């Protein structure tokens, strides 16, 4: 669930980085990924 979404978003972020996508797209994906990771750690704590 949350872990799956983190993996999907990580893959999407890596793809955008490889494609040299616009900085704003990469930045926003990175922020979203950070939020999900923080939420994941709150759940397991």
Cα 21 to Cα 3, 16, 25, 39, 43, distances in angstroms:
25, 5, 7, 26, 32
- Asked if residues 37 and 9 have their Cβ atoms less than 8 Å apart, the reply is no
pTM of the predicted structure, to 2 decimals? 0.90
Q: Which two tokens stand for residue 40?
A: 């994941």
pLDDT of residue 32: 98
pLDDT of residue 27: 98
Instruction: Please spell the DSSP secondary structure of 2-39, one letter per residue.
Output: HHHHHHHHHHHHHHHHHTT--HHHHHHHHHHHHHHHHH
pLDDT of residue 15: 98
Domain total of the chain: 1
Range of the domain at 13: 2-44
pLDDT of residue 41: 96
pLDDT means over runs of 10, the chain (45 residues): 96 98 98 98 94
């Amino acid at each position: 669930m949350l872990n799956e979404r983190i993996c999907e978003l990580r893959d999407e972020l890596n793809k955008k980085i490889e494609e040299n996508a616009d900085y704003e797209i990469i930045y926003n994906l990175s922020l979203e990924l950070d939020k999900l990771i923080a939420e994941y750690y709150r759940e397991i704590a």
